Structure 1
Amino acid sequence: MIPASSSSSLSVKSQSSRPSSSLQSRPPSRNTAPRPSSSIGAARPASSASTRPHSRFSLRPNSRQARSRLIPQCQTLVTQMTGMKEEDDPEDESFREAVDYVVRSLETSTINKAAASVDLSVIERRISGLALKARINSQEIFGEALQTAYDKLKKNVEERENDLDQDIKASRLPDHLQFLLELSRPPTEVTLMKAQTFLDNIANPPPTEHTLTWADILAEEPFEGEHWEGVYDQKDGGDWTSTPSLSPLSSDDRPLDDDDSSVEYSVPSSDSTTSEPPERMDDSRPAKPYVPHSCENRKQFEELRARQYWRDDWHSDASPNPTFDVNDPSTLGPTISRALAEATGMKDAQAMLRPEHYIDEVDMTREILMSLQGNNTTILRWNGIAFEMLPNAPRLVHLSLASQQSIIMSLARTASIVQNLRRFTATVFSASFANKQTNNRKVTTTRTCEAFADAIDEATRELNAWCAAREEAICRAYAGIDTEPLVVTLLETEGAIRDRYGTVFEVLPEIIQTIFQIRPGEDLSRFDLSATLLRQPAALTAQLLDTLFLNVQQHMERRDNITSDALTRVFLRTAGPIWSMVGKWLKDGMGLGLGVGSGRKPDMADELDEEFFIENNGLGSGIMGVGLLDPEFWQEGYALRERTTPSGEDGTEGQASGQSRSRRVIPLFLEHVADMVLSAGKAVGLMRALGAPLSSNVFDGRKTFADLVSSVALDGGEKSKALGLFSVSIDTLSRLIYDTLLPHCQNTGSQLVKVLVEDCFLWKHLQAIEDLFLMRKGEVIPHFMDVLFMKMDSNQPWGDFYVLNTAFSDVVEANLNAGGKEWINASLVRLSYRGSREKDRTIRRTVKAIDGLALEYAVPFPLTYIFQPKIIEGYSDIFVFLLQIHRAKNALERILVRDERGKDKQLREELKVLYAMRSRLSWFIITLLNFLTTYVIHAEVMRFHTVFRQAESLDDMICFHDEHLEKIRGRCLLKPNTTALHRAILSILDMCLHFGDGFVDFAGSSATLDLSRQSINVKRHRSRRQERQNRNVVSFSQNRDHDWRSSDEDEEEEEEDIMDSEDGGRIKEPPEPSFSLGSSVMTQDEGFPARVGKMSSELDGLIRFIRRGVESLAGGTSEAAPAFGVLAFSLEDWDM
């Protein structure tokens, strides 16, 4: 037993620090007598432990001590990692070897070296860097929470810096933070949620828990309150009046002297009376003290309950059976009800019924506002189709039942329309969502229809917000927050809705019924969407946008600005998908159409939305398709959609758009820019195919259509800014769209034109085509014609493919060898003859045999879009016509005019007739050729070059070139309406060949000149057979009376109309020549001079026919009239 005089330092410390107690002044107790000394502690010998020698462990170095402390931890680590234990197999050395390995590995870094430590500034910089990284990664909440937590930690450490009992020393704080940072992972969604919760708790700290004080206990009744619960055990039969002692000793056995404080004794654990009460008191104490309801709380509860007008036991302040008073409106309703009951004899029945439930008008207005938001109320209930008024609906004291029902049903109709619009949007959205969930490529709804439903949904949500704002204003007026007076009535609410939204909620269902073919009165949410989509999606989109557009126009014309503004907002949101399609088309351009991919199918770039007004016709796709390289791809590959409505179908689409069903499927507000958009998109695709850099002025498709229009509308003035409405007119909208798209389209087109001119050598190929087909190359084309005509006259195979192309190549090469410039690549030119053998045999007698000649020029890509095969064919027709004229001219030029002195008189007279005929034919040929080369080809080429240089797009180039070629063909009389004049000219040309052959037969070959060989041999050679024939020829000279007609006959003939009014304004057929193209041998009965007389008469008729036809063309209103006037003026010299 420890002596009483001996005490530990802890007991001394506790005694010295313990304050003085009142027990020190207690009276002496009987227990305070000194105890006798124990016999055991009197003569106790000293223990051997007191003389124990020092252990050698205390003299070990620090490293060995650290090693001995490390071994148990290493054993535990080996056991946890490998499962081996030392007691499992004491003889096995595996466990001991593993422990030694771990000790050797760790003692180099933990025993012999000091641990690496960091400074607090390093941790602070690292925390700041992590917070900055979080902000850069758009995780501002996480960065702010991390910085805030670190600041609170530093503040807490600074406040507790002198606390010796804290778990973590301030000097070790950087090491702990370093350890936590090394164990940390990148933030996840859970981390961000916890960071948000942490910041919310700091910004809105929970209320401090109330701490029980002695003042609270003393303020209550004795032994009452929750803090006394559990102190006394009621199960043991105890009551609140008897309090058992918490000490196991009686009051007499307790030490009351001063020495009692140093005596130590414990409470036995077996005594449940002393141990359970404190535990029960601690467990049963609630987190927050219970505060009973006060009178103020009860008062507030009753006030709130008094406002619950929807309760059956709620009664209004107005009396249910008042006496009618003119000055009191609240007496009107009950008085009318009583009067009607008395008048109908149902007063007793009314008394037996439940009394009327009257509420305030402001409360009924709130009910109507909730119904407008689609909720069932005590006034209105939704029956699946419309809102209906409940039979037991509350009444208003100042309105009769009929007037109240009239006002409420008017508002109910508006609520029903809005609710049906909500159901319609839900149906469209569910169909769209189901399509996306199933990943079905078959479109069940169009993007424009979805945008239309979204616009309606936005309008209904705006109505919900408006109703909520009005209800908030009512609540604020109730609470007295707003000082301005507020008038709330049913009529005022109805007028506010009309002033705010106009008739937009009546117009929208009509538009839905028109577009989706719903009968009036049917549920808008149960329309047959599949039947609607049987129509072309582009047609459905155009019809929807056109219907909205026309409704906006109509309400603008009626000065209904409220409805027109609301419809404009719906229209702009509905047109958003089409505008985005336009932006995507202008940005990405057309697809290449090469069919690269699986199954030779076009790539995704070739696919356009089916509701877009531009479609891919599929040109170039398939097995034989060449895509972009096809000359027709530019004009036919991508084109504007056209309506494909059958003629027998009900023309709802045409009625909605105000246009015929055959028009292109383009929304009205984009119709004026559709061609420009199509051209720009095709230009972008072609630029991408050519590898040319695209323009920096890329169309900004990210700006929505509504944002584009709102930016202009908000510039109109402060009033528009305040209302936030798109108050733009139809003309302003059209101009805005045009001004927005024009710069990009012009820039793209001009850049493509620059690439075609500079990189594709457009002007070089155009010059070569004009020089070749229009015979503008004077030193090469005549040489080629001489070679060709020589083969024709000598009956050589001139139409052979090899002969034609070899002759042309030789002529071009000879021109280069002679020092001429290279004007054409001969390898790009191909001549072929597609005529029959019969025509080939008649080449010496008619120029019509040359019709089978075809001249082609292989234009490189992408110039094939301008010089298409049909364009080259048109050039070839002009070339053949000019070649036919030169063929006749060559036949006349081969006839030599000689001095006939020394010949007999009759022969000289006959030769005069022949030479006169030759002169008349030559005059016409020269007049015609001079007109074609000077006033047609040269004039049109100069004009075309001027216009062609001003082209701003490839489409402009194609249009200008096509118009240029058509003008030349029209002035060359190659159009269908001038076929008669063309046939008359060919007859004259055939007459020239026939005259040349007859002159050779009559005068001999010595009277001709071979211009191709430049022969100067004029020696006359006449065979004996020809001389015998000439002796038998009777001379014939055309009589003046037969050659020239009287002036009366001329006037009558000129007054004759040669235009056939029954055949579309075409010129009547010319007179047929009497000479046969198959007879070239002179007979004995009729000599060549006699036939020349007939030929002269026929030539006169043909030329007069041509002159009258040209004069009729010159007197027209076409652009070619001045040119034909020149030819008509030249042909007037025929009669001189």
Structure 2
Amino acid sequence: MSKNAGSLDLARQLVLSLRPDTKDADATARRVATQVRAHAGASMRKEWHEVRRTLKELAGVARVRVEDDVADAYDKLVAKLEEHRRRGGTQWDEDLPLQASTIPQHVHFLLELAQPMDDDVREFAAEYLVRPPRAADKSDMRLYREIMAAPFEGEHWGPGYEEASDEEWSDSESDGGSTPSEEDVVTPAKSTRSAAAQTARQAEAARRAEEDARLLLAKLQLRELTGAAYWKTGGDPLPSSDGAYGWRALSSLPALASPALPRHDRAISAAQLQRELLFALSGRPGVLLTFNLNECSVGVYGQGPLTQIVPSHPEVASFSPAALQGILSTFAVYATQAARLRAYVQSPGASETAQAFAAACRGVLHDVTTWVAEREAAFLGSSSQSVSTPLALQREFARFGDVLAALCDLVPLTNSPLALLDALYRATISPVARDIRPQLTDVFARAAAPMWRMTGEWLVQGMPVPESLASQEADLALQDDDTERALPPEFYIQRDRDAAWIDEDFWDAGFVAPAWPAWLREHAVLEGGKARGLLRSLPAEGTHAGEAEAWRSLPDLISADQDIGDALCAFVAPICGRAQSLLAATLARECGLHAHLAAIDGLSLMRACDVLDTWADWLFRQMAARKPWADFHLLTHAMRDAIEGAGAHWINPASVRVRTARRRAAITDIRVDYLVPFPLSQVFTASALELRSDVFGLLLRLMRARKLLRARHKAGADVLRVRHAASWAMDTLWAWINAALDILSARHAAAMAGASFHALVTLELEHGRRLCATCFLHPSTDAAMLHVAGILDAAEAVCVASAGMASTWDTESEGYESEGGRSGWSESGRSGRSATSASEASSESTVRAWDGSLERAAASLGAHVRGLMEVVEGLAGREGDAAAREMWGMLVFALQDWKDVLYVA
């Protein structure tokens, strides 16, 4: 441990001395220390020819990349190193005491520490090419400096200038004549032309020699490349299988190959095998793996080029045929996945989700191609990190292979955007995809971006609403759906064209989600968009507040270390909640939700007592006088007159409609409607108002029976006893029903305060069903309704019978008078006794008939009251809502006071 710490400290000092401005000194020091320890062993020793080949390959890569300066710098460096090797010696020079025998190790160590090519390296290579050679203090250089030194003296120049001038000077020159030698000196034109020509010939010869040398070098390089083209020659010849071999060569010789396998005479090296594998992964065929284009079908998802092993492929010198077959089979699967994914991205489909998924797949393929390119570049550079076994290459590529396999499984689902995203989401959160979850999360974020954008438009802009709907005078029946904003066809929420804005179930059926995304578990998105669209259609102030929601992109919301559904729901839920809360406040403040609810309850549940009493009295008089009463206009105008006469300003007379359910109507067929404007018409629907109208019909019949029983007629004690029993039954039912309706209405009003629009629709419909159940109009209370109807029929029969007996009694007692407290028959009555004796017999028979009818009505009344008590006891003991059981218990308690009434003839 101390030795490693010491080497790491030395490496850090070395890094800081060479690069004092580096920011990652610790990381670089660890890397240097690791490489030093790796090259300390004897197994990592490099010879000069290996290092020379590495430098030549780096120069070749640079020339392929059109980086001539870097390539020339490598060539110059190799030439320098070759020169020192030829010169020999134990050290490099005096300034750099390196051992010549360890030069390959130093160069290999520097190559291991080298970073990828950048601009600094290119600039250094350019400077290195023009750098003048270092002056060496040698004999020839010293001689050169002595020759070029001034003055021109020394043994190299012969006699001095002055001595030569004195000796060679002659008197003939002073005579003014000229000699041939002097003419040559004065006019050297001929000699100059010959020297220039000689120089030109020498330059041309040098140029041709240089061209010949470069041509020869190019031919040698071409011959070398041609010789290395194993894909043409099939590799090097295999060694003979004759003779004995050591145990190290057993697994790599063809002698151990199965006789059933094809035999080949040539083989490639392990490095060339790695090159072929990289070629296959990048989609390029080779001598080992090729692509069967007959299996390619780009237009059909899930199909693509199939990678196959070449039947006549060469062997690999260091692998047995079985081992090579296994390696090629594994990489054939990877290459097939990559090839089919490349085929898909060329024709992804028309939907935005499919195109986004193709773009994400294209990004994964780009990463694969970049990885392959880096491996190829490192392979040409013979870096120890890239010179690995195919098994190591397979293990390194496995991180891409799992991603490619997952994406290929999703390609057949690209026809359905929602199914594609759901499958991708399930693959991302799958426990088996834990290692590739970051890659799949990134693919999901890019593929789901269009659907997420559509979700944002739905929540921010709301559901499409026709512009004319914002006008208060707009007729819902004339709304044209073509004026609405069209939703994208691939969005999971769609417009149902069979549902019109006038339909009472439009809120539930107008915009539906046939299938909900598995990655978006917040179902409030549907209601949030509807609420936002409804707010945009309302012209009231404050309805557009909060529209500019800060919609964030998927990469900002999700990551590989958190659940995608939880993250998206946490972001979407507040937006949906704000829209629904704002709509609830707007409906209560601007649309008068609670005022309309009070008006509807006042009519349908008879809370407007003064109005309903006035209207009911008119109706009962019309029935008693046998005048027309069932006409729609008569009923409606009578109700409106009663509202105006009572001064009930909380009820809008123009919104009231009173009608009969049938043409030949009875009192139970009367229905009352209350029209509300949009959007409250989606809350108080026709179905909900119809349920309330049924309750209104029952209450109206109870009111008529109570009024008839309260009428004053002359009758005996027995008749009054029966009338009292029937009146008690009517009053008990009336009091209990009104008390129960008051409780239900109070709970309903409290539940509607602040509820969402969908909750308002649901609450109103459920409230109507509860009202019907309380008034024995629900299928669950059919048995109780039979007894209630029997009680009403018996009460009406009692009223008719008692009224008939009262009329008979009045006829018989026409002569009876009471004067001053005296009672008796008058004289005229006595004298007329004989005149009326004929009618007495018929009157007695009529009384007996009414008496029998009254007896039957009393018996029926008692039987139905007892039957109702038994049924209600069963309802009170039934499992379910505790509040409902309590209300039924109140009715049971009230009916226990019933006493049988026996009619005495």
TM range (shorter): 0.5 to 0.7
Residue deviations 1:430-462, cap 9 Å, x none?
xx4xxxxxxxxxxxx433333343443333333
User: In the alignment, is residue 588 of structure 1 matched against residue 588 of structure 2?
Assistant: no
- The answer to whether structure 1 residue 694 and structure 2 residue 544 are counterparts is yes
2:494 pairs with 1:615: yes
Conserved in 1, the CA contact under 8 Å of 2:798 and 2:858? no
Question: Counterpart of 2:315 in 1: which secondary structure?
Answer: coil
* Pair 1:699–1:831, CA change in 2 (3 A): same
CA contact (8 A) 2:795 2:861 kept: no
SS at match of 1:1133: coil
2:593 aligned partner: 762
Shift in CA distance, 619/757, structure 1 to aligned 2, threshold 3 Å: farther
Give SS of 2:347's match: helix
Report whether the alignment pairs 1:684 with 2:532. Answer: yes
Deviation of residue 706 (structure 1)? 4.3
Q: Is residue 666 from structure 1 mapped to residue 430 from structure 2 by the alignment?
A: no
Q: Residues 313 and 813 from structure 1, CA distance in 2 versus in 1: closer, same or farther, beyond 3 angstroms?
A: closer
CA RMSD of aligned residues (A): 4.8
SS of aligned partner of 2:558: helix
* 2:867 match: 1105
TM superposition shift of 1:855: 1.2
Letter in 1 for 2:701: Q
Alpha carbons 2:706, 2:727 under 8 Å: kept = yes
Structure 2 counterparts to residues 333-348 of structure 1, below 5 A: 333-334=252-253, 336=255
Instruction: Please state how far the C-alpha of 1:894 moved relative to its aligned partner.
Output: 1.0
Q: How far apart are 1:1029 and its partner, in Å?
A: 6.8
Amino acid of the structure 1 residue aligned with 2:493: I
2:903 is aligned with 1:1129: no
Q: Does 1:356 align with 2:266?
A: yes
Structure with the larger helix share: 2
1:593-635 per-position Cα deviation (integer Å, ceiling 9, x unaligned): 4799xx9964474322232222211257xxxx7x4x6654333
Gaps of 5+ in 2: 1-122, 131-143, 145-177, 296-305, 470-477, 812-822, 901-905
Match of 1:412 in 2: 332
Residue 879 (structure 1) aligns with: 696
Q: Distance in 2 between matches of 1:356 and 1:490?
A: 20
Aligned-pair identity (%): 25
In structure 2, the residue matched to 1:4 is: none
CA deviation after TM superposition for structure 1 residue 563, in Å: 5.2
User: CA distance change for structure 1 residues 854 and 733 in 2, over 3 Å: closer, same or farther?
Assistant: same
Instruction: Flag the 1:307–1:930 CA change in 2: closer, same or farther, 3 A.
Output: farther
Letter in 2 for 1:496: E
Structure 1 counterpart of 2:727 = 922
Evaluate the alpha carbon distance shift between residue 407 and residue 890 of structure 1 in structure 2; reply closer, same or farther with a 3 A threshold: same
The 2-side partners of 1:807 and 1:566 are apart by 75
Alpha-carbon shift at residue 357 of structure 1 (Å): 2.7
Q: Deviations over 1:34-62 (max 9, x none)?
A: xxxxxxxxxxxxxxxxxxxxxxxxxxxxx
CA contact (8 A) 2:808 2:846 kept: no
| Aligned residue in 2 for 1:78 | none
Is the aligned partner of 1:470 residue 2:375?
Answer: yes
Gap change, CA 1:965 and 1:340, over 3 Å in 2: closer
Counterpart Cα distance in 1 of 2:215 and 2:824: 150
Secondary structure class of the residue paired with 2:630: coil
The structure-2 alpha-carbon separation of the partners of 1:911 and 1:1028, relative to structure 1 and needing over 3 Å to count, comes to farther
Tell me the equivalent position of 2:679: 862
Q: Residue 672 of structure 2 aligns to a residue in which SS?
A: strand
C-alpha distance in 1, partners of 2:208/2:550?
61
Aligned to 1:788: 619
Residue deviations 1:853-896 (CA, integer Å, cap 9, x gap): 22121212221111122222222221111111101111101135
Q: Is the 8 A contact 1:593 1:619 kept in 2?
A: no
**CA 1:961 to 1:833, structure 2 compared with 1: closer, same or farther past 3 Å?**
closer
Letter in 2 for 1:793: A
User: Per the alignment, in what secondary structure is the counterpart of residue 512 of structure 2?
Assistant: strand
TM-score of the pair, normalised by structure 1: 0.54
> Match of 2:659, SS?
strand
Cα deviation, 1:800-848, whole Å, max 9, x if unaligned, reads 33332332233223323xxxx62212122122234434x4xxxxxxxxx
Per-residue deviation, 1:946: 1.7
Tell me the residue number matched to 2:395: 495
Tell me the equivalent position of 1:456.
Answer: 361
Alpha-carbon offset, residue 933 of structure 1: 0.7
- Alpha-carbon deviation of 1:746? 0.7
Question: Offset at 1:577?
Answer: 2.8
Match of 1:376 in 2: 285
**1:1113 and 1:1132, CA in 2 relative to 1: closer, same or farther beyond 3 A?**
same
Equivalences, count: 687
Residue of 351, 375, 400 corresponding to 1:446: 351
Q: Pairwise mapping of residues 1018-1029 of structure 1 onto structure 2 (< 5 A)?
A: none
Aligned to 1:853: 670
- Partner secondary structure for residue 657 of structure 2: strand
CA contact (8 A) 2:237 2:267 kept: no
In structure 1, the partner of 2:95 is none
- Structure 1 residue 995, shift from structure 2 partner: 2.0
How far apart, CA to CA, are the structure 1 residues paired with 2:859 and 2:317? 114
CA distance change for structure 1 residues 783 and 586 in 2, over 3 Å: closer, same or farther? Answer: same
Residue type of the alignment partner of 2:337: I
What is residue 322 of structure 2 aligned with on the other side? 402
Name which of 742, 750, 767 aligns with 1:938. Answer: 742
TM-score (norm 2): 0.66
Cα offset, 1:314, TM superposition: 9.3
Quick check: 1:543 aligned with 2:347? no
Q: CA deviation at 1:991?
A: 2.6
| 2:152 equivalent in structure 1 | none
- Whether 1:825 and 2:652 are equivalent positions in the alignment is yes
CA gap of 1:259–1:313, structure 2 versus 1, over 3 A, is closer
CA 1:734 to 1:340, structure 2 compared with 1: closer, same or farther past 3 Å? closer
Q: Does the residue aligned with 1:854 lie in a helix, a strand or coil?
A: strand
Which residue identity lines up with residue 644 of structure 2 in the other structure? E
Structure 2 counterpart of 1:783, one-letter code: T
Cα deviation for residue 1098 of structure 1 reads 1.0
- CA separation in 2, counterparts of 1:741 and 1:552? 21
C-alpha displacement at 1:737, in angstroms? 2.2
Q: Which residue of 1 is the match for residue 92 of structure 2?
A: none
Q: Which residue number corresponds to residue 800 of structure 2?
A: 997
CA distance in structure 2 between the partners assigned to 1:1030 and 1:932 by the alignment: 46
What is the CA–CA distance in structure 2 between the aligned matches of 1:1115 and 1:945, rounded to whole Å? 27
| Equivalent position to 1:779, from 610, 622, 643 | 610
Q: Distance in 2 between matches of 1:614 and 1:365?
A: 51
Q: Kindly tell me: are residues 586 and 1020 of structure 1, through their superposed partners in 2, closer, same or farther at Cα, counting changes over 3 Å?
A: farther
Return closer, same or farther for 1:727/1:920 CA change in 2, 3 Å cut-off: same
Q: Indicate the SS of the match to 1:328.
A: helix
Conserved? CA contact 1:889–1:925, under 8 Å: yes
Match of 1:966 among 748, 758, 769: 769
Q: Which residue of 2 aligns with 1:426?
A: 346
* In structure 2, C-alpha distance between the alignment counterparts of 1:954 and 1:933, rounded to whole Å: 28
Matches within 5 A, 1:691-1090: 691=539, 692=541, 693-696=543-546, 698-701=548-551, 703-710=552-559, 726-728=560-562, 732-816=563-647, 822-837=649-664, 839=665, 849-895=666-712, 911-934=716-739, 936-951=740-755, 953-1004=756-807, 1084=846, 1086-1090=848-852
Q: Residue 888 of structure 1 contacts residue 992 of structure 1 at CA under 8 Å; is this kept in 2? A: yes
Equivalent-residue separation in structure 1 for 2:836 and 2:567 (angstroms) = 86
Letter in 2 for 1:541: P
Cα separation, partners in 2 of 1:727 and 1:764, compared to 1, 3 Å = same
Letter in 1 for 2:743: A
Deviations for 1:1049-1076, whole angstroms, at most 9, x for unmatched residues?
xxxxxxxxxxxxxxxxxxxxxxxxxxxx
